[in-house]
Amino acid sequence: MPFIATRLSNIKPSPTIAVTQKARELKAAGRDIIGLGAGEPDFDTPDTIKQAAIKAIQSGDTKYTAVDGTPALKKAICAKFKRENGLDYAPEQITVGTGGKQVLYNALMATLNPGDEVIIPAPYWVSYPDMVLLADGVPVPVECPPETGFKLQPADLEKAITPKTKWLILNSPNNPTGAAYTRSELKALTDVLVRHPHVWVMTDDMYEHLNYDDFEFTTPAQVEPALYDRTLTVNGVSKAYAMTGWRIGYAAGPKELIKAMGVIQSQSTSNPSSVSQAAAVEALNGPQDFIKERALAFKERRDLVVSMLNQATGIKCHKPEGAFYVYPSCAGTLGKTTPDGKVLATDEDFVTYLLESEGVAVVQGSAFGLAPFFRISYATSTTELEEACQRIQRACAALR
């Protein structure tokens, strides 16, 4: 009898974490590496949020809290949904976890039975399919090519729905593509869901505040009130507030679902850090002006990266609406030969070539469910981005 659970046989370690770790190891070994794999803002957590955490520590706010969030944080989350999304939730409809990933995982564990299907537009965040598999569900990827702006089309959603479908996971702005759905595009998708009352929508809005060019962010429960009772709206403080290490995610949904998710959390991690929750209260209730300032910086970086990548031989880069990623095609480089005599057959080959030849660490598109592409995170300095794009141009020009 094997010691390790068989359920792990279908699960892969996170490719994005693997790339980041490899870049760190190469740097430690003395290599000149520019890491563009991490999905993490390079900005620091604002001082007002840090001070709220320090105050919590000094006042002894270091004990266990309610399993799925303090009353103060739940109140702040309710206010955020009302203020920014026009959605009314009561505290008992709110759950707080150690990052958005735990919130998503709790929801899947609390709802999926063996064989239940979850529709996942591809490209997707690498963790979605594996979390579904861990919960004994069946991930159903639906390809969203660049011709559609990397966005799920209503007809494709309709085709993917079966009697076994339980969830649609929708991520906008999207990781890895940066694609974001307009209100009309969301309405077309929600119209499909209204016709299928057994399908719920899990919307990952983690990059809500990182959108550009006058894009108006909306979320499904806001666009289609008829879906309010079967929508889990997931968000967090990681990206907009540069609080990735604080590990606070949250969600709003029907009371029965939120209660079930709390049961899962009570027997796994229990409550998130009391100090991090105090900091998150300040994040949501405190000054918000820095968010737009940082989004403007990200927009300028996006424009730089898109322009420079489109000057690289064999690369085509779509301009995304949000997040801090681009998802260029490297199809034009495949079949070519590197200076070392290796033929590039896949996007993974291309990514390996970039790392070995020029010290640029990116993530292959196959990890996100759509090849041949690669993901670049432009959440780093303009100087590093310029240098990285010059190296990519040089690597592409060297192919024959």
Give the span between the Cα atoms of 176 and 364, in whole angstroms.
10
At the top level of CATH, the class of 6-44+290-398 is alpha beta
The closest of 123, 39, 121 to 328, measured between CA atoms, is: 123
Tokens 């598109």 sit at which residue? 365
> Which residue ranges does the chain devote to CATH 3.90.1150.10?
6-44+290-398
- pLDDT for 64: 98
DSSP β-bridge partners for residue 122? 143
- pLDDT for 348: 92
As averages over each run of 10 residues, the pLDDT of the chain (400 residues) reads 87 76 83 89 96 98 98 98 98 98 98 98 97 97 98 98 98 98 98 98 98 97 98 98 98 98 98 98 98 97 98 98 98 98 96 94 95 97 97 98
- pLDDT for 90: 98
Are 172 and 205 in contact, with CB atoms under 8 Å apart? Answer: yes
| 3-state SS class at 310 | coil
- pLDDT for 30: 87
The closest of 293, 356, 283, 367 to 325, measured between CA atoms, is: 367
Give the span between the Cα atoms of 284 and 289, in whole angstroms.
12
- pLDDT for 7: 86
Are 346 and 372 in contact, with CB atoms under 8 Å apart? Answer: yes
Are 354 and 343 in contact, with CB atoms under 8 Å apart? Answer: no
Q: Which CATH number fits domain 63-286: 1.20.1300.10, 3.40.1410.10, 3.40.640.10, 1.10.1040.10?
A: 3.40.640.10
**The token pair that represents 29 in the structure block:** 């070994």
Are 69 and 284 in contact, with CB atoms under 8 Å apart? Answer: no
| 3-state SS class at 158 | helix
> Which residue ranges does the chain devote to CATH 3.40.640.10?
63-286
The closest of 86, 178, 200, 75 to 125, measured between CA atoms, is: 178
Residue 207: CB atoms within 10 A of its CB come to 24
Alpha helices for the chain (secondary structure H) = 15-28, 47-58, 71-85, 100-111, 127-134, 154-160, 183-194, 220-223, 255-266, 274-285, 289-309, 347-358, 382-397
Rounded to two decimals, the pTM is: 0.96
